[in-house]
Amino acid sequence: MLCSIILPMLRQRKFQILLGLLAGLVLAVGLYQVPFINSRLAWRLDNLRAEIRQWIAPPSEQVFVPGASTAAPTLPSPGVTVISPTVDESAAATPTTLAPTLEPTPTLIPLPERIDLKGAQFYVDQKNRWNYCGPANLVMSLKFWGWKGLPGRTDDLRDQVATVVKPGFVDPTKSFIDRGRLDLNVMPYEMADFVMEYTDYSALIRHGGDLYTLKALLVAGFPSVIEKGYYERDTQGKHTWMGHYLFVTGYDDAEQVFIVQDAYYQNDEKPRKDRRIKYDELLEGWRSFNFLFMVVYPPERENEVLNTLGRLSDPVWGYQRALQVAEEEVLSLRDIDLYFAWFNKGTSHVQLQQYADAAAAYDKAFAVYASLGSDNVNRPYRMVWYQTGPYWAYFYTGRYQDVINLADVTLSTPSTGPTLEESLYWRAMASYAIGNTGPAVTDMLESVRLNPNFAAGWQRLREWGVSP
């Protein structure tokens, strides 16, 4: 008798508890959609998901192992534009077989001991924005010349740039800032294209820069944006290697420092205006991006810029110079710096359209990478987020499976999931080349969904006869 009374009561109690839990879950989901609550909780949930993802598959432990060539090389066809690692579309031309021979460097003209272009007055940070290093630095370089923003726009200058270079996929439940957070990197060519297409100014990008060139540009009145590696705590609090842009606005030989405007700071840190960075420190970080720099300038002053650059006014000369530096450094550097040197050698060969040599250099780089300590500091697992040269080298030497394997590894490393449109693009290209058209179309469609302004992806879809 007692059991017949208690058991139904227990069942009813369990049902009430379950009903209460479901009601609480529905209420929590509903409250989460309220904008001011969502804005406070979304990033915490994102961080939790990222930590779980990185705990299950630590990105620094994902290692790409190059294989061997399995197909005949497929070189770019003349007149076909494909995504380029820099602003120029060098791979659309017929590959060269020999690069120009460097002539001896002329005697350098003595420069003033110090220059300060007062860049702090143009300072813009990237705080309260997702991955806004590129837009923030581009805004600073444009504000220096008096840019006021896009016609008819009154919103934040950073967002005006970002709507073009990292628009994000359209989700009506997300703000523009949230939509753009999955784009983890803005390429240098994307920033230069913005300057050329959306402003009255001009921009150029060069590889193979050096400290003297940065100083000479400053003496002539032209600040520059450089891309370099550095070590910082990421959004999960892990000390790790990342790529970063800096706006270079001065130098001081007495202190052996450059004066830079650093857009990155977190929490209660002070804005990094007029940050002083030692020559050696800047050079070491700059190495990981093949000594790349970008100059924004009024078009009527182009001759001044080119005259200041000297032989670097010719981008091919810059690629060859960067190659020469890399060839010297692979003989003298060790560990992670040796990895960067081999990677730079591959990048310079790609820019010179010497794809077989590039592939061999990247093979060396990835072998060094595999030998590094398997932690966030020793293994710069974000490298291919920023520089896509290995895809070029392997694709245009017929190593399609290596392209796919490298993309698989690279796409496994972001805490946000596979959100790198360039890696999706190249995996699609390689899949299509070996006849796997289904996965190719899926990846290419995803690349343009993530970045609706991704011109290369749209071009390939048109060529394949695919409509979203």
Q: How confident is the model over 121-157, as pLDDT tens digits?
A: 999 999 888 899 999 999 999 999 999 999 999 999 9
Helices (H) and strands (E) in the chain, counts: 18, 7
Least confident interval from 182-191, 236-245, 356-365, 412-421: 236-245
When pLDDT is cut at 50, 70 and 90, the band that residue 89 belongs to is very low
pLDDT tens readout for residues 160-176: 999 999 999 877 777 87
pLDDT confidence of residue 314? 97
- H/E stretch holding 159: helix 157-165
**80 pLDDT above the threshold of 60:** no
> What are the two backbone dihedrals, phi and then psi, of residue 399, each rounded to the nearest 5 degrees?
-95, 65
Least confident interval from 70-74, 244-248, 316-320, 404-408: 70-74
**47 pLDDT above the threshold of 50:** no
Q: Which residues contact 314 (CB under 8 A, 6 or more apart)?
A: none
**Domain extents for the chain?**
9-56, 83-383
Least confident interval from 12-26, 28-42, 134-148, 351-365: 28-42
Q: Is 290 left (phi over 0), alpha (psi -120 to 50) or beta?
A: left
Least confident interval from 127-136, 202-211, 249-258, 336-345: 127-136
When pLDDT is cut at 50, 70 and 90, the band that residue 465 belongs to is very high
Cα–Cα distance, 253 to 329 (Å, whole number): 25
For domain 83-383, say whether CATH 3.90.70.10 is its number.
yes
Q: When comparing pLDDT for 40 and 291, which is higher?
A: 291
Contact 195, 138 (CB under 8 A): yes
Look up residue 49 and give its two tokens.
């998901």
Look up residue 123 and give its two tokens.
């300072």
Q: Output the pTM of the full model.
A: 0.84
Q: How far apart are the first and last CA of the chain?
A: 67
